[in-house]
Chain A
């Protein structure tokens, strides 16, 4: 089945640090990838839709200058949390979808980000 790899799985860093998270589709090409954030005991909230070769589309309330998304190839999207602060601590999950509108999204293993 479709496999999505997300790296790193766990990050602990000081306030003010920028953190880059990678999302790769390992066995399929993904023109579209999605970035979600999940707080404890809450559901997944879509942050942005990442499109290969074009600018990402951000959801309302998500700062595009703080959460930089780059989708440089059909198998890789990156999310950079710039100048992270403790309130950015969360579980970040990416997903990718194979070509075809009826295909399900497949999720990476998630990145747990803790800002001290």
Chain B
């Protein structure tokens, strides 16, 4: 079956760094996506990894290790507006996105 695990909640202070881990076991692998979702809103695309390694995009970076079934999203220089749920999603063999339950990041002053 499909299994995508990420922590339920993480708390960090403004200006700090937070790393959100995601492990997965899916029917096939065609890429891993990270989305940000604010309460009551739809997800917005943050990053995409299909090959092993680190992808950097401004304050956000995402890492993938396919052999370990593992990814992380790194948020640097945290801002209050980064308080949101972060969703890890894997594209399976059929091209469908399988989502994790999301990690709620709480940024405190």
Contacts and interface: CB of A to CB of B under 8 A. Distances in A.
A43 B87 contact: yes
B19 interface: no
A104 interface: yes
Contact of B99 (A43, A102, A108): A43
B95 A101 contact: yes
Nearest to B31: A102
B30 interface: yes
A102 B97 CA distance: 12
Given A46-B97, A49-B96, A101-B95, A106 B45 contact: yes
A81 to B, nearest CB: 18
B84 interface: no
Say what secondary structure dominates the interface of chain B: loop
Given A49-B96, A101-B30, A104-B33, A43 B45 contact: no
Residues of A contacting B: mostly: strand
**Interface magnitude class on chain B:** 20 to 34
Q: With a 10 A CB-CB cut-off, give which of B44, B87, B96 has the most chain A CB atoms.
A: B96
B40 interface: yes
A108 B31 CA distance: 21
Contacts of B100: 43
A32 B43 CA distance: 18
B97 A107 contact: no
A93 interface: yes
Contact of A93 (B31, B42, B50): B42
Interface of A: 6, 32, 34, 42-46, 49, 91, 93, 101-102, 104-110, 112
Interface of B: 30-31, 33, 35, 40-45, 48, 50, 87, 95-97, 99-102
